Structure 1
C-alpha cells in the first residue's frame, strides 16, 4: 500500500483503454440486456417565456411571464432509464413512487412514450411527484436567460408501508432483469433503509447493482458504488461543506468506501477520468478531453447507464468505466439539454478520440 505522501493518480496503475472491436462487441451485447432502474423519478419541465410579449398586470405592479412553449421529460432516475434505452438495451423497467397528481401522470406518459416499462411505478395518494421546472426567458435580439427553477418536492419520507410496497415492486422487477441501477437523489426520496436492505439481498443473490447516491453513498452494502469525487469526499470527511479535493484524499475515500460497502467502488473525476477500487487495489481509467462548449448536465446518468450496461455484459470494472467515458463524452457536447448517447454516437466518439 502506498504511503499518504505518495498516494496520487500518477502513482497507481492505469487502464490502457478499449479497442474499437471491443466497443462494438459491448454494444452488440447490450442490445440483449434487460435493465431495471429504481429510485427518485422526477419530471423535468421546460417553460419558454417570450418576455417581449409581457404586459403589466392591471391588478398588481408586476409584468407577467407569458409561456409560449413547454416540453417535459423524465428526470433523475427517469433520465437514467432514458439513457439505458438510448444505449439500445433490450428492455428497460422503472420502479419508483409517483403521486396521484398531474406531474405523476406526465412522468408515466413520458416514460411510456420512450419505450420504458412503468409497470413498477407505485402511485401513492398524497405523495408529491417531484419536478424541476426550468423557466427560460427569451428577450430582444435572441437574448435568453434561465430564471430561478421551480421545484415540486416532498417534505417527509415514505411511510414504512409505502416503503414495503416499493420493495414488492422491486422484487417483481428484479426477477425479470439482468442488472439494476439505483438513483438516490432526493432528501425525502424512494430509496430508504427498507429498499437499501432489499438491494443488498439481491446483490447477495448475484444481481449486478450499481448505486448513484447524492447524500447517502456510505449507507449501501454489497453493491457497486458510483459517487463523484465530491460525494465521496463529503462521506469520507463527514461534512456536507465544500472540501478541497486532493488526489490523496479521493483515493483514501475510495478505498474506505469500497471496504465499508464490501464491494467495488468507482469514483468519477470529471476530465481526469475515474478510479476503480476493488479488493484494496486502485486503477485509474483516464478519459480524453472534450473541447468546449460543453454542458455537464446529465453526464453522470450517461456514465452510470453505460458503466452498468457494459459491466452487466461481462466487462471488468475498468473496461466498463472506459466504455462509460465514451458515453459521457457524447452527452457533455449536447448543450442546453439532458442528453443521451446512442451506439453510433459512442462509436463516433471513439473514432474522434483516437485521431
Structure 2
C-alpha cells in the first residue's frame, strides 16, 4: 500500500518543484499557515487521503524537514462549513453564479494546488476580490498610459490597489523561486504604486500641538528613558544588535541596528502614523509578535515622539527587503529628517495639522540620529 504522506509529498514537489525552504521560510509558513494534522477532526492519515482524493488542497508549504506540511489557515473552518471534506468542492463552486461555473472550476483547480499563498485568507470571496482588483488595475494603468493626467483613473487605481493590498500577504523567498518571477505584491502593488501613484508616497505626519507637548517634548526628562524607546523599536524590528554612539562634544546620539528596517510606505503607514497600534493592525503579519516570535514591545505608536525630549532634529535612515528574509529581493532604502521647530511652526494654531518631513538621500545602514 502506498504511503499517503510520500504520495502527497511527491505530488507537492511535482507542482512546486524541488526548491529548498530556508529557516526564514519555515518561520513564515508556521506563523501564517496551519499544520496539516491540526486542520480538522480528521487524523493526519485521513487528511492525506482526502488530499489524494482531491477533496482538499495540496499543502501550501512543506517545511525544510521534508515532512511537516502547512495548509491554508482557513481550511478547517471551510471544511466544517461545507459539511465535510467530500463536500468542500460543491461549497466552493457555490460562491459563483451559474453562468460563471467555468471560472469557478478554474479557481477550484488553483485552490486545490495549494498555491493561493498570496492571500491572507484563502476564501472564495477574497479570490473573487483579487480577480476584480487585478482586472481593474490592468484597465486603469492602461488608461493612465494613454492619458497620464486622467485624475479619475488615478483615484480609481489608488482605490483598487489599496483594496488588493488589504488581502495580500508578503510571501517569501521560496515563493519567488517556485513561481519564478515577481511576487503578486511586487507586480500588483509595489510596481503600480511606484509607477503610477508615486506622488502619494510623500512623507507625512499628522498631529496636534497638545500631543507633541505631552507625548513628545515633555514625556521624558533623561537620556536612558528616551534611548529605551529606540531600543524597543529595534527589538520589535527583530534586531540582534543595537549600537548606541553618544557624541557629547557635538550633541549627537546615533542609534544603529540590524533589524528588518522599513520601506518608504511602511514609514508613512506606521512610523509617521502617530498613535499607530501595531497590535491592532489586522494587516500586519507580525502584529502581536515578531517574525522571531518576540512579544511586541511597542503599544501606542507614540514612542517616536519621545525622542524630541532630548533632540531638536531626528534623522531616520532605513533599509529593508520585502519579503522579509528574501536576500534576492531588491534592497529598499529610505531616509528622512524631522525638525522640531518646523513641526511647531506647521501645527501652531491648528487642532490637528500635517507636517511633511524632509526627504534625505538614503545611506547604507539603518540608523536613528538625534541632534
Higher strand share: 1
Larger radius of gyration: 2
Higher helix share: 2
What is the TM-score with the length of structure 1 in the denominator? 0.23
What is the TM-score with the length of structure 2 in the denominator? 0.22
